[in-house]
Amino acid sequence: MKVSTRGRYALRLVLDLAMHRHDGFVSLKQISERQNISKKYLEQIVPLLRRNDILRTVRGNRGGYQLAKSPDKLTVGEILQATEGTLAPVACLEDEVNRCPRARECQTLYVWNGLYQAIHDYLYHITIEDILQHSQDMHGNDYCI
List all residues 6 or more positions away from 86 whose beta carbon is below 8 Å from its beta carbon.
94
Number of domains within the chain: 1
Q: Is residue 86 part of a domain?
A: yes
By C-alpha distance, which of 84, 118, 86 is closest to 10? 84
Residue 144 lies in a domain: no
pLDDT attached to residue 136: 81
Indicate the SS3 state at residue 145.
coil
With respect to residue 127, please indicate whether it lies within any of the assigned structural domains.
yes
Q: Give domain status of residue 92, yes or no.
A: yes
State the CATH number of the domain containing residue 47.
1.10.10.10
Assigned domain for 88 exists:
yes
Q: Can you tell me the distance from the alpha carbon of 38 to that of 27, in angstroms, rounded to the nearest whole number? A: 13
Q: Which domain holds residue 80?
A: 5-139
Asked whether residue 9 is domain-assigned, the answer is: yes
Q: Give pLDDT, residue 52.
A: 97
> Nearest to residue 45, comparing CAs of 60, 61, 63, 57?
57
Asked, for residue 76, whether it belongs to a domain, the answer is yes
Backbone angles phi, psi at 126, to 5 degrees: -90, 120
DSSP, res 66 = E
Does a structural domain hold residue 145?
no
Q: Is 2 helix (H, G, I), strand (E, B) or coil?
A: coil
Determine which helix (DSSP H) or strand (DSSP E) holds 56, and give its type and residue range: strand 55-58
**DSSP letter string, 80-131:** HHHHHS---SSGGGSSSS---TTTTT-TTHHHHHHHHHHHHHHHTT-BHHHH
**Which of the 8 DSSP states describes residue 20?**
T
Residues of the chain predicted below pLDDT 50: 143-145
Spatial distance between the Cα atoms of 68 and 105, rounded to a whole number of angstroms: 44
pTM of the model: 0.88
Residue 62: the pLDDT is 78
